[in-house]
Each structure stands twice: as structure tokens, then as C-alpha cells.
Amino acid sequence: MKLDRILKYQNIDVGVFKEEKNLASSETAKSIKKHDDIVSQMREAVSRSDLEAGTLFARMHEIDAQIENICLHERNIMSVEPGTLEQLETLDKDLNSYNEQLQALERDVRRMLERLQEMQSEFAKHVSSANRSQEESRKLNIEYKKMKEAHFAKFQKEYTVLKTLSAEIDPQLLAAYKVRRAAKKMPVFVPYSADSGCCPACGMQIVAEVGDKLKAQGDFAKCPNCERIVYLP
Ligand SMILES: [Zn+2]
């Protein structure tokens, strides 16, 4: 049958794939992901803080200019001696108003400085958390590398056979297989029975789509639902 080689390949590969999956879902792999996620969350938090600090500094710059402006006005109105009681009252009122504005700006600056201090301690926490997770991830990756090496050593024979077999398989067919394997659609090739008319993998009724294409043993077609390859055994 034209699918003999690829089916033989799949037969061996199913066992290898199962072990690869176990490896990828091992506690070690999960922990690596957890720590890597923490590192990227902390990096995001740090860059958000950077942005916020930038905004705060820009606002403080503005306030600086505003304060300077108010002081200038104050100096200007004070340089003119009030000649009448009315002028003195106006001067008093203006000075009071400038003082209030200055106090409000001062409060703003104080709040911003407090926030910056808060951010500094948050920043330190984020950095130390990121460093901890990075170190954990590094250690776990060493362990995971060993696990992978053990896996390859255990399945060395299978991998060698797969390599030999793959040279004997139509490249297009092998490529189609590998795409589905990467999408974790295993097994890729599933035997189709005209009696049921269903894809044995996903259970979808597919006789209308593939019935005409599957006439002789070894004929194959794509399941329109799960995209596996159904074949006539
Ligand atoms: Zn299907």
C-alpha cells in the first residue's frame, strides 16, 4: 500500500510523541513556564513604572515653570508701592492668591515625590522577584536539559529508525504529517471505514466530503473537521 511507509513511521512516532508530550507537561517544564512568566510580568511592571516616572518628572518640570512664573508676578506687584488703602488691599489679595497657588503646587510636588518613593520600593521588589525567578528558571532549565537528553537516549533507536524511514517517504506526505504532529493532532493518519462514514478521530460525519476520494486501499483525504488524514486501510 502507498501509505505503508508513513504508517510504519507513525506507529513508531506515536510512542515517541507520547513521551515528548509527557516531558513538555512535566512539573519541571511547568515550573520553568511559571518562572519565565513571572520574569516577563516583572519586566512589564518595570517598564510601566518607567513610563509613570517619566510622566511625573515631566509634570514636576511644568510645576517648576509655574512656580517661577508666580514668583515673577509676585516680584512685579511688590515692586510698586501701594499709594492708597485700596491698592494695598488689592496687593494683599493678590499676594494671598499667589501664596495659595504656590501651596497647592507644593502639595502636588509632595504627592509626586511620595509616589516616586513608593515606586522606588516597588521597583526594588520587582527586580528582586525577577532575579529570583530568573535564577530558578536557569536551574530548572539545566534539569530539563538533562531530562531531554535522557529522553533522546531512551528513544535513540526509534529516532534513528524514524530518520531512515523519513528518507523513504514522499516529502509532501511527510511534511503534511509533521504539520499535524506539531499541532498535536496525533495520530495523523486514521483508518476510515465507509460503513460509518465518520472520521475515527473527531467523530465527524465526512462521507459527503471524502467518500468519493476513498475508493481503493491506501487512498487518503483530509478530514474537513479535524484536518487529520483519513485513509482506506
Ligand atoms: Zn476528523
Write out pLDDT tens, residues 56-76: 999 999 999 999 999 999 999
Edge-to-edge strands of the sheet including 220-222? 189-191, 229-231, 220-222
Find the 185 Cα to ligand 1 centroid distance in Å: 10
pTM of the model: 0.71
Find the 228 Cα to ligand 1 centroid distance in Å: 6
The reply to whether 130 and 34 lie within a common domain is yes
Find the 188 Cα to ligand 1 centroid distance in Å: 10
Of 125, 157, 189, the position where a domain reaches its end is 157
Phi-psi region of 141 (alpha: psi -120 to 50; beta: other; left: phi over 0): alpha
Residue 5 covered by a domain:
no
Condensed to tens digits (0 to 9), the pLDDT of residues 95-151 reads: 999 999 999 999 999 999 999 999 999 999 999 999 999 999 999 999 999 999 999
What is d(CA 18, CA 23) in angstroms, rounded to the nearest whole number?
A: 9
What is d(CA 225, CA 233) in angstroms, rounded to the nearest whole number?
A: 20
The reply to whether 71 and 117 lie within a common domain is yes
Find the 229 Cα to ligand 1 centroid distance in Å: 8
What is d(CA 42, CA 53) in angstroms, rounded to the nearest whole number?
A: 16
* Region of poorest pLDDT, from 80-89, 103-112, 219-228: 80-89
The reply to whether 121 and 207 lie within a common domain is no
Query: What's phi and psi for 206, nearest 5 deg?
Result: -125, 15
- Residue 184 neighbours by CB distance under 10 Å: 10
Find the 155 Cα to ligand 1 centroid distance in Å: 29
Find the 89 Cα to ligand 1 centroid distance in Å: 90
Bigger pLDDT: 211 vs 30: 30
What is d(CA 197, CA 133) in angstroms, rounded to the nearest whole number?
A: 52
Domain span at 93: 24-157
Condensed to tens digits (0 to 9), the pLDDT of residues 174-214 reads: 999 999 999 999 999 999 988 999 999 999 999 999 989 99
Of 124, 157, 190, the position where a domain reaches its end is 157
The reply to whether 126 and 37 lie within a common domain is yes
As separate numbers, helices (DSSP H) first and strands (DSSP E) second, the chain gives 6, 3
Find the 225 Cα to ligand 1 centroid distance in Å: 5
Condensed to tens digits (0 to 9), the pLDDT of residues 152-161 reads: 999 999 999 9
The reply to whether 35 and 102 lie within a common domain is yes
Find the 19 Cα to ligand 1 centroid distance in Å: 23
- How far from each other are the two terminal CA atoms of the chain, in whole angstroms? 9
| pLDDT confidence band for 219 (50 / 70 / 90) | very high
The reply to whether 202 and 223 lie within a common domain is yes
The reply to whether 172 and 57 lie within a common domain is no
Per-residue burial over 45-65, b if 16 or more Cβ lie within 10 Å, else e, is beeebeeebeebeeebeebee
The reply to whether 208 and 151 lie within a common domain is no
Residue 12 covered by a domain:
no
Instruction: Assign residue 86 the CATH number of its domain.
Output: 1.10.287.1700
